[in-house]
């Protein structure tokens, strides 16, 4: 595949990733700049390294160091980390010639499809993770789960107690839970079931 076609594919892929997948779902404008900048920067530097006598291993090591610095500079959610590395991977795949020529485009499409499916709102859309500070010291896991299920209006799958302070009477806990179905959706489902039986 010609380099110009790979570069065009890279630009199209990062636009789809940043403006078609990430922003409509997460709404952080500052990350658009990061994803576009990382992708184009990686593409430019990787292409230069591939054309020069410098080994590709040195370039990949450099990108690893830069990505660690970038990820330590601000707090990112895990999906944002995935988008960040996807933009980096797309830039790398577009910079190096791989044989056969269809491998790079196929891998780029695979990355985009994987993010589209894994980060889709309908995939486990009601599942949440929250870290809460409760104004009560819970020493019983069952009582803690019952309290959280009432508080969060959902079914708690797992609880990780971070800290129990018996002096200040507080509990810091990470709850992984599934939100209950909204009442209007339940009523709609019941009406549909009744209509189906008639």
Residues near 90 by beta carbon (within 8 Å), at least 6 away in sequence: 10, 13, 14, 17, 39, 108, 111
- Spans in the chain with pLDDT lower than 70: 51-74, 183-198
Q: What are the tokens at 6?
A: 């790979």
In 3D space, the residue among 142, 56, 44, 136 whose CA is nearest the CA of residue 95 turns out to be 44
47-98: pLDDT as tens digits: 877 765 555 565 566 566 566 655 555 677 888 888 988 998 898 888 877 7
pTM: 0.73
């Amino acid at each position: 595949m010609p380099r110009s076609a790979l570069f065009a594919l890279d630009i199209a892929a990062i636009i789809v990733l940043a403006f078609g997948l990430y922003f409509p779902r997460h709404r952080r404008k500052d990350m658009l700049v990061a994803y576009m900048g990382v992708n184009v920067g990686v593409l430019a530097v990787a292409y230069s390294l591939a054309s020069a006598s410098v080994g590709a291993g040195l370039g990949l090591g450099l990108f690893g160091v830069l990505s660690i610095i970038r990820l330590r500079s601000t707090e990112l959610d895990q999906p944002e980390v995935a988008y960040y590395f996807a933009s980096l991977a797309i830039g790398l795949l577009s910079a190096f010639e791989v044989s056969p020529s269809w491998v790079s485009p196929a891998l780029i499409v695979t990355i985009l499809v994987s993010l589209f499916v894994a980060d889709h709102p309908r995939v486990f859309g009601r599942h949440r993770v929250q870290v809460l500070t409760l104004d009560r010291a819970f020493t019983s896991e069952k009582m803690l789960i019952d309290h959280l299920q009432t508080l969060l209006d959902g079914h708690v799958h797992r609880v990780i107690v971070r800290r129990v302070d018996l002096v200040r009477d507080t509990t810091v806990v990470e709850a992984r839970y599934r939100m209950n179905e909204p009442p209007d959706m339940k009523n709609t489902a019941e009406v549909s079931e009744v209509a189906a039986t008639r």
